[in-house]
């Protein structure tokens, strides 16, 4: 299973098999603003990156999170 999906699943307490690149707070139970912060903190610790408040507002799907994370990792 994909590492990012596993992290999101863990933070949402949701089965990874039920998530995809298109999963979002709109259609995924347990994904609220606090869950978004937990997802961001897990990624920050795991990858040594930091997300700004503006970037957190763009955490509107797993695909969007992946794009932001990949951009951060490319800049390192």
* Residues 20-43 pLDDT 10s: 999 999 999 899 999 999 999 999
Does residue 62 carry a pLDDT above 80?
Answer: yes
* pLDDT value for 76: 80
Secondary-structure percent of the chain, ordered helix, strand, coil, rounded to 5: 60, 0, 40
22 domain-assigned: no
* pLDDT value for 1: 55
C-alpha 12/C-alpha 64 separation (Å) is 17
58 domain-assigned: yes
Which CA distances in Å does 48 have to 10, 26, 31, 45?
A: 19, 28, 23, 5
Average pLDDT over residues 5-24: 97
Tokens 């408040």 appear where? 53
Domain count, the chain: 1
Does residue 67 carry a pLDDT above 60?
Answer: yes
24 domain-assigned: no
41 domain-assigned: yes
21 domain-assigned: no
25 domain-assigned: no
Range of the domain at 65: 3-15+31-74
Taking only Cα atoms into account, the Rg of the chain, rounded to an integer number of angstroms, comes to 11
What confidence tier does 16 reach under pLDDT thresholds 50, 70, 90?
A: very high
């Amino acid at each position: 299973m994909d590492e990012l999906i596993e992290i999101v699943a863990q933070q949402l307490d949701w089965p990874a098999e039920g998530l995809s690149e298109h999963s979002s707070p709109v259609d995924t139970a347990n994904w609220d603003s606090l869950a978004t912060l937990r997802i961001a903190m897990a990624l920050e610790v795991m990858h040594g990156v930091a997300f700004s408040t503006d970037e957190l507002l763009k955490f509107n799907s797993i695909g969007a999170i992946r794009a932001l994370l990949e951009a951060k990792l490319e800049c390192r």
